[in-house]
Amino acid sequence: MELMPRVRGLPLADHTAVKRALAEADLATLMAVLVQLSGEEIWLERCAPHIKPIIFDGAPLAGGGASIPAELGDQMRARLYDVLTGANPPPQRPIDSAIFQRIASVYMGEPVADEFVDCTMEQSGFVRFLDRDLGDVPAERRDFKVAIVGAGLTGIAMAIRLSADGYSCEIFDRNPDVGGTWFENQYPGVGVDTPSHYYSFSFELNPDWSHTFSSGDQVLAYLQRCAEQYDLYRKTRFSTEVVSLVYDDAAELWNVKTKSLLDGSERTVTANAVINAVGHTNGPKIPEFAGFEDLEVPWVHSARWHKDIDLHGKRVGLIGTGCSSMQIAVTIGPDVEQLTIFQRSAHWIRPVPINVVPEGAKWALRHIPYYGEWFRFRTYWTASDGNYVNVQIDPDWHMPNVSVSRHNEALRQRFLAHLENKMGDRPELMAKMIPDFPPYGKRTINDIGWCDLLRKDSVELETSGISHFVKSGVVTNDGRTLEFDFLILATGFQHVRMLHPLHIVGRNGVDLHDLWGEEDARAYKGVAVPHFPNLFLAASGPNTSPNHGAGANFVSEAHVHYIAETLNAMLARGARTIEVRQDAHDEYNAAIDDALKGLVWSHPKVRSYYVNSKGRPYLSCPYRLVDSWHMMRSPDLSHYHLSPPRVANAPEYIREVA
Ligand code: NAP
């Protein structure tokens, strides 16, 4: 008789560690694990009345939604202890979508609808992004060379997927290591503002995050580990800037011109396809301040920080109040003699838990089967489409000046209550901190100590505006000269100038930046542009940022999947090039513009880096993450031109040439 394989890793031998993990890990997550391992759905029935949705009106509910009675919790822990350590572990069976959905719905305290199931099973790591039965790699992929620009989060995912699919990849990065923005941003306090257990690849869950929101060096180490594990260092040309991409119509190849940042030497290589994975946060924005050239005070942009900067005991000016500024401020605040923060506009601030991940929970993430997947599902669910209601404009809303709907107003009240709670006894300071635009118009900022910092005597929130710079510092609009020993520009990035300064020339000599103009990038599904065959923008194109929720990693994986599927589909049909049709591109963009009209980023009071100077939100994706995921499952080849097939019996529609 053939024995059923048992769950890998069970039984767990370290009983002391199991007990500690069961005590310190998240109880609702343990419930999900118990039901999956044991098949005992009675635990769902017993827990259901005690679990409420984590997100309510777009805001996380205090306490994480679950208040399972202690006695029930003890019973579940005891039963799970037996399952994990007993001599007869449960059989290994893949989780099917029906049981996933039943567990997920109780675990989240709300129905997890059918449309979310495939997407969240993949995002949780239950259905592995890379585990597809490819069989033998088709020969046409092996000699199809793909150049990837950028070895950050997206470039790494792209290279991993394409390598798994059998392509030959070469990656270029101007930095001497992988990591992209996480390599470059080394400022004090740099860290994620997306929960760490979500901000990572679904196919490489990391059990070791130290905090709910972990530091940048942990993200960088994680990305380095992934690059190492998937053999990407060997395929990456470091300290190499891609300066131009020029398409050769006759050869159907891209000429990739690179420049070494070590010795200045230039080289041109060819590639069948090019993928831009350069992200949005890679060109520091240095505003054109009057008199800035006269400044004699040393200064740095947040993204160009270096370890020699010592601010101890100095008078420091910090310009900007975005995420970077806040992380810097709360970190350097206690060390400097005086900190003056220049705020041009107030940002909405949300309270967040600043949690250390207990050792027992880390152990559970590493050793208890499925705990990592379920916990990932929970962080995904909390940080994503539950927030979508906050950004939708209700056309009948009666307070359109300050908020856009009942949900958005409820959130505004929550944020105001947080400010009142923290700053109520400092009404003048609090008044400066209240934004004049609806919540979610700009990226909401986690209060990781910002309010407490601003209460300090040594910290000033300067709101009168910068008139100009002089040798020793800043002259404010009301005529005061503020002198500093050091200035920090946390003024953000040149998001709007997408793919600058890369020179990109497509079919018939069409220049991408001429096509887009200075700041109006457009693409089909954010990834493909007419006139640019075999060129893709992976999570670096227009209208792809999920500004209602977190998920740079989500977008990366969705785009990586789509691009790989598109190349696979093209080659499977014997074609060598694929180019999006103009009509498909235009239709897609018309729908984007239409959808954006109903969302908060189009609100007249919103001035943010999501919006270009003409008022068009060029960065935000107007769709829910789950919609984007479904949209990016597979290419609709009728939206593309394919180059003439090499196979004689190819279907008619792919014979059409641009
Ligand atoms: P940012 O959000 O663009 O903020 C820039 C700040 O500089 C804003 O307060 C802006 O004021 C101010 N500013 C810009 N030009 C100015 C001028 N001419 N005069 C005065 N003030 C000026 O930049 P960031 O904080 O570096 O963040 C950039 C991106 O990185 C964001 O997407 C952010 O979320 C992301 N980030 C992510 C993490 C993470 O954990 N994943 C961490 C840090 C940053 P206004 O508000 O008036 O425009």
Provide the residue type at 325 as one letter: S
Question: Ligand 1 site: residues with CB under 6 angstroms?
Answer: 191-194, 281, 287, 302, 319-325, 342, 344-345, 443, 466, 490-493, 609
Q: Compute the C-alpha angle 435/439/440, nearest 5°.
A: 125
For a substitution probing ligand 1, which of 209, 301, 318, 344 has the most ligand atoms within 8 Å of its CB? 344
pLDDT, residue 61, reads: 65
Determine which residue's CA is closest to atom 14 belonging to ligand 1.
Answer: 491
Identify the residue whose C-alpha is closest to ligand 1 atom 35. Answer: 323
Residue 236 CA to ligand 1 center (angstroms) comes to 30
Determine which residue's CA is closest to atom 3 belonging to ligand 1. Answer: 492
The reported pLDDT for the residue numbered 655 is 39
Strands 473-476 and 481-483, sheet pairing: antiparallel
> Which of left, alpha, beta for 25 (phi over 0: left; psi -120 to 50: alpha)?
beta
Question: Do strands 299-301 and 486-489 pair parallel, antiparallel, or not at all (unpaired)?
Answer: parallel
pLDDT at 314: 98
pLDDT of amino acid 142: 87
Q: How far is the CA of 342 from the centre of ligand 1 (A)?
A: 12
The single-letter code of the amino acid at 396 is D
C-alpha 630 to ligand 1 mean position (Å): 31
What Rg value do the Cα atoms of the chain yield, rounded?
26
Q: Could you give the CA distance from residue 264 to residue 253 in angstroms, rounded to a whole number? A: 25
Q: How far apart are CA 328 and CA 318, in angstroms?
A: 9
Which of 322, 298, 308 is CA-nearest to residue 186? 308
Residue 322 CA, ligand 1 centroid: distance in Å: 4
Alpha carbon distance 209, 216 (integer Å): 11
Measured in Å, residue 490 CA sits from the centre of ligand 1 at: 6
What spacing in Å lies between the alpha carbon of 591 and ligand 1's midpoint? Answer: 29
CA torsion 548→349→376→214, rounded to 10°? 130
Scan for tokens 């239709």, then name that residue: 587
* Dist. CA 147 → ligand 1 center (Å): 31
DSSP secondary structure letters along 266-305: EEEEEESEEEE---STTSB-----TTGGG--S-EEEGGG-
| DSSP state for residue 63 in the 8-state scheme | G
* CB-CB contact of 454 with 352 (8 Å): no
Helices (H), 66-215: 70-85, 97-108, 114-124, 139-142, 153-164, 181-184
Find tokens 């240095």 and name the residue: 286
State the distance from the centre of ligand 1 to the C-alpha of 491, rounded, in angstroms: 5
Contact 369, 8 (CB under 8 A): yes
- In testing the pocket of ligand 1, which one of 281, 606, 619 has its CB within 8 Å of the most ligand atoms? 281
* pLDDT number for residue 654: 42
Please state the atom number of ligand 1 nearest to the C-alpha of residue 321.
9
What residue's CA is closest to ligand 1, atom 39? 192
Are the C-beta atoms of 242 and 175 separated by less than 8 Å?
no
Helix (H) or strand (E) holding 625: helix 625-631
Confidence (pLDDT) at 644: 74
Residues of the chain short of pLDDT 70, as ranges, are: 1-3, 56-65, 131-135, 645-658
CB 240 within 8 A of CB 174: yes
CA distance 24 to 323: 31
Q: How far apart are CA 462 and CA 329, in angstroms?
A: 14
- Please say whether the beta carbons of 89 and 11 come within 8 A: yes
Ligand 1 binding pocket mutation candidate from 199, 217, 321, 618 (most atoms within 8 A of CB): 321
Contact between 476 and 464 under an 8 Å Cβ cutoff? The reply is: yes
Task: State whether residue 453 is helix, strand or coil.
Answer: helix
Helices (H) and strands (E) counted in the chain, each on its own, are 20, 23
| pLDDT reported for residue 64 | 66
Concatenating the DSSP letter of every residue in 157-192 gives HHHHHHHHTT-EEEEE-SSSSS-THHHH---TT-B-
Please check whether residue 613 is in contact with residue 451, taking contact to mean a CB–CB distance below 8 angstroms. no
CB 436 within 8 A of CB 426: no
Identify each DSSP E strand in 471-560 by its residue range. 473-476, 481-483, 486-489, 503-505, 535-537
CA of 467 to the centre of ligand 1 (A): 20
Asked if 477 and 637 count as a contact pair (C-beta separation under 8 A), the reply is: no
Q: Which of 323, 497, 606 to mutate to test the pocket of ligand 1 (most atoms within 8 A of CB)?
A: 323
CA dihedral 46, 50, 51, 53 (to 10 degrees): 140
How far does residue 155's CA lie from ligand 1's centre (Å)? Answer: 24
